[in-house]
Chains A and B, each alone.
Chain A
Amino acid sequence: MPQRNDRPGWQVSLLSIGAFLLLWALVAFIAQSPQTLPTPLTVARLTISELASGELLHHLGATLLRTIAAFIIAMTIGAAIGLVMGTRSRVNAWGDPWLIGLLNLPALVTIALCYIWIGLTEVAAIAAVAINKIPLVATQMREGARALDRSLTDMAHVFGLTGIKKLRHVVLPQLAPYFAASGRTGLSLIWKIVLVVEFLGRSNGVGFQIHQYFQLFDVGRVLVYAISFIIVMLLVETLILQPWERRATRWRRPDAR
């Protein structure tokens, strides 16, 4: 018997976004204060104007590049640390206090220290963001490494699977759900920290623009940049992360072939 697909489709998501815009418009209409809360239509007009001037794309691009760089660095280093800590108890015993310390280090402190020690540079900005995220990735990947299937490790040993081949075919597929969870939470956290980094010490990017328009009390343009980057992140989630996750976990589906 064919199974019914009871999952709500994209139409529901569209309706939900429509309801949010309607609520926003209603509150803006009641508030009658365009400077404090502009209507969605005003923000849309401002977005078109920023797009036409090229400013929006320029700053979105700068923030996106920083986000991607910090994301790749944090995921790579965090995964490596988590994997080693999850499989070697001695390393874990030594590294655990460091990890707890870093997990509780406020993002602002890391950003300030990186800017002071390295200077107001791109390297410092990306390093500060990556350092904030690495402990979170390491913690999640450590859990993944602890859950590795021992019998598959034995199989790999017997058949002489080592190094990259073992990592690619035996270890990483088991860590895929942890990568997906870590990637999703990581991306949302990283871009928020990137904004703070730009706010404090860069001359371009969404964070820099928000800083500018905050000083001018231009709520409309603050919303333009914030919403635009949320849309970019939603696109990354929908067009890159979700298809990758579907592909990585397709063997779990009952109809997998």
Chain B
Amino acid sequence: MRVEITRKAYGDATILRDFTLEVAPRERLALTGPSGIGKSTLLRIIAGLDTDFEGQVTGTGRIAVAFQEPTLLPWRSVRDNLTIATGCTARQADDLLTAVELAHTADRFPGTLSLGQARRISLARAFAAKPDTLLLDEPFASLDHAVSARMQDLLLTLLDQRPARLILVTHEPAEAARIAQRVVTLDNDSQRWTSA
């Protein structure tokens, strides 16, 4: 997958410029940097949600995203959230719900779940899409330490079982170090990205 952004701006404010990123299949990459620097913007560009930029994104294959907010359909059951969004079978959905340890919530509405549970459902939905590229936007933010650590374990297990190219946006260097093989950090002064 190759991302080339000549310029991305909101009005007069340039967010990204002369930026290139290549991520190999099955590579696990973390994007870090301070808030407002353009990490989520980059993720939206890769996901195809933001097309107002100069440059191009190629070779992503099938994309799935786990957003910072779980963005589940509150009027559909947990199982239906997986089958409707990804087209997977009910059996496959149940398998993934078992994998994220939430099989017992399959018939419940998302509104009855905690934030941590909803994030795990969102993660299960992303894997249900059998993605070539998996984009995660701060999936562990606002979770307490134990829940966050458990969810990171689940992510690593799922990635072992269902390999995909991973791009993880996070503020936490520890999360990035644990999950990613490569960490890319935005340099605040130059507005260019550097690999570490």
Contact = CB atoms under 8 A, between A and B. Distances in A.
A26 B73 CA distance: 55
A35 interface: no
Contacts, number: 54
A151 interface: yes
B109 A169 contact: no
Interface in A142-176: 151-152, 154-159, 161, 165, 169-170, 173, 176
B111 A158 contact: no
B107 A257 contact: yes
Contacts of A152: 71, 73
B48 A157 contact: yes
A256 interface: yes
A10 interface: no
Contacts of A151: 67, 69, 71
Given A151-B69, A165-B84, A173-B73, A158 B108 contact: no
Q: For the side of the interface on B, what is the size category?
A: 20 to 34
Q: For the side of the interface on A, what is the size category?
A: 10 to 19
8 contacts: A151-B69, A154-B49, A154-B67, A158-B48, A159-B125, A256-B108, A256-B111, A256-B112
Given A154-B47, A256-B111, 19 more contacts: A152-B71, A152-B73, A154-B67, A154-B71, A155-B65, A155-B85, A158-B47, A158-B48, A158-B64, A159-B64, A161-B84, A161-B85, A165-B84, A169-B76, A251-B74, A251-B75, A256-B112, A257-B107, A257-B112
